[in-house]
Every structure is written in structure tokens, then in C-alpha cells.
Amino acid sequence: MYRQRDPFIEILPQLDVHGFTEDTVMTVVNDFIQDNYKLYRTKICVIHGKGSGILKRKIHQSLKSNKYVLKYYLYNMNIGCTIIELKERK
């Protein structure tokens, strides 16, 4: 089966959290957000998978209160990915 590649998602810095537990995932995601904020990046992608949505809910819940996050949303081409827009660094 042919799988269409999306160049938009390929150029974004990505973090794949498949296999992480609900307890440990936010440590890795928060480090990823801070590192990209320091590098002046404004958009990143976290790949959490579709599944039952445990990781997605945990990540989205934490992103609501993250001081570096401007907004976040599910990627419309693949709902197993969350696009995070970071605040611009001054």
C-alpha cells in the first residue's frame, strides 16, 4: 500500500513518545519543548499515536499550563500527532 508523505511534518522537529508511560512522558516532552524554545523554534511535533488516547490526554493536559506553549492542536493529516506552537523567544 502506498503511503503519502507529508513534507510539512517531516521538516518539523519531532519527538516520538510511543512506548512511554503516562507517568514518564511529560518529563521527555517538557525537555523537548524547552530545548526547542532555546533554539528559537516556533513549531514542533509530538507523535503520541492514536490508540486509546492516554498519552494524548496527558500531553494536552500538561500543555495547557506550559509557559512556553502558545497553542497546540492535533495535526489534521494524522491525529496521532500534536503540533505545538511555541511562544517567540525575546
Quick: pLDDT tens for 19-55: 999 999 999 999 999 999 999 999 999 999 998 899 9
State the CATH class of domain 7-86: alpha beta
Strand stretches in the chain, DSSP E: 14-16, 43-47, 69-75, 78-86
Contact 69, 33 (CB under 8 A): yes
Contacts of 47 (CB under 8 A, 6+ apart): 14, 15, 16, 17, 18, 80, 81
86 close to 43: Cβ distance less than 8 angstroms = yes
For the entire predicted model, the pTM comes to 0.88
Domain borders along the chain are 7-86
User: Each residue of 16-25: pLDDT tens digit?
Assistant: 999 999 999 9
